[in-house]
Amino acid sequence: MIPSQYDRIFTKHDSKLALERTAEMRFLGLAQLKTEGGQTSFDNGAGERFIYNQEHSEIALGYAITRKAVDDNLYKTQFHPSNLGLIESFQQTKEIYGANILNTATTYNANVGGDGVALCSTAHPIDGSTIANRPTTDVDLNEATLLNGMISIRTNFKDMAGLKVFARGRKLVVPPQLEPVAVRLTKTELRPGTADNDVNAILTTAGGLPEGYMINDYLTSPYAWFLLTNIDGLSYMERVKFETDMQVDFVTDNLLVKGYERYSFGYYNWRSIWGSFPTS
pLDDT in tens, 59-76: 999 988 888 888 887 666
Q: Which residues of 105-141 are buried (b: 16+ CB within 10 A; e: fewer)?
A: bbeeeeebbbbebbbbbeebebeeeebbbbbeebbeb
Query: Is 26 within 8 Å of 163 (Cβ atoms)?
Result: no
Type and span of the H or E element at 60: strand 57-65
Compute the average pLDDT of residues 72-96: 83
Q: Can you say how many angstroms the Cα of residue 179 is from the centroid of all Cα atoms in its chain?
A: 19
d(CA 158, CA 163): 5
Query: Is 112 within 8 Å of 98 (Cβ atoms)?
Result: no
* Single-letter amino acid, residue 215: I
d(CA 218, CA 43): 45
* DSSP three-state, residue 63: strand
| 74 Rama class: left (phi>0) / alpha (psi -120 to 50) / beta | alpha
pLDDT digits (tens, 9 = 90+) for 14-30: 999 999 999 999 899 88
Which of 62-66, 71-75, 141-145, 189-193 has the highest mean predicted lDDT (pLDDT)? 141-145
What is the sign, positive or negative, of the torsion defined by CA atoms of 94, 98, 99, 101?
A: positive
Lowest-pLDDT range of 70-79, 121-130, 238-247, 259-268: 70-79
* pLDDT value of position 67: 86
Q: Can you say how many angstroms the Cα of residue 11 is from the centroid of all Cα atoms in its chain?
A: 8
Reply yes or no on whether the pLDDT at 263 is more than 70.
yes
d(CA 26, CA 46): 5
